Amino acid sequence: MFNVYGLTETTVNATATLLEDPFTGDRVPIGRPISGVETYVLDAELNPVPVGTAGQLYIGGDCLARGYLGRPDLTADRFVPHPFSAVPGARLHRSGDRARWLPDGRLEVLGRLDSQLKVRGYRIEPGHVEAALCSHPGSSTPRWWSVPDRAGRNG
């Protein structure tokens, strides 16, 4: 069985790995970058972190989108200048995923660095949910939470 990881901003697939059968680990690794993809785990100053150390996952290469249509603010925030490329204008995408390199060279995602949720494959920003609830005339202090499904998954 393969586990494939990717973002819409990276033409969907960015990394892949073959999993042992049966898989017995605590976390499922997302693997290594596929052809045309560059992956980095960086600290807040865009420096690579050592193997096993958590940082933010950045993705670049031929797979990377140019930005968000009609959203120059979000594009500037998420698509940052590529600190390791000699190609003029090269960018990396700041994924928002907390990750680390494993000793075997594969990547492992440890969670999100923000409050974004994935619900059945859709990105949900809790701030957007709060804003919608606040806009209702009968709501004064909205509260929301993610409820696990029968399998214990949130989303």
Structural domain for 126, as ranges: 115-155
Which residue, chain included where needed, has tokens 């960015």?
14
119 and 49 share one domain: no
pLDDT of residue 34: 95
83 and 25 share one domain: yes
The pLDDT-based confidence of 24 (bands split at 50, 70, 90) is: confident
At 114-136, the pLDDT tens digits run 766 666 666 676 677 777 777 87
92 and 129 share one domain: no
Question: Residue 63's domain is classified under what CATH number?
Answer: 2.30.38.10
16 and 49 share one domain: yes
The pLDDT-based confidence of 46 (bands split at 50, 70, 90) is: very high
Query: For residue 119, what are the contacts with CB-CB under 8 A and spacing of at least 6?
Result: 146, 155
Instruction: Please tell me the total count of domains within the chain.
Output: 2
121 and 91 share one domain: no
Residue 112 tokens read as 């999100």
121 and 148 share one domain: yes
22 and 79 share one domain: yes
100 and 56 share one domain: yes
Dist. CA 75–CA 120, nearest whole Å: 25
94 and 132 share one domain: no
107 and 119 share one domain: no
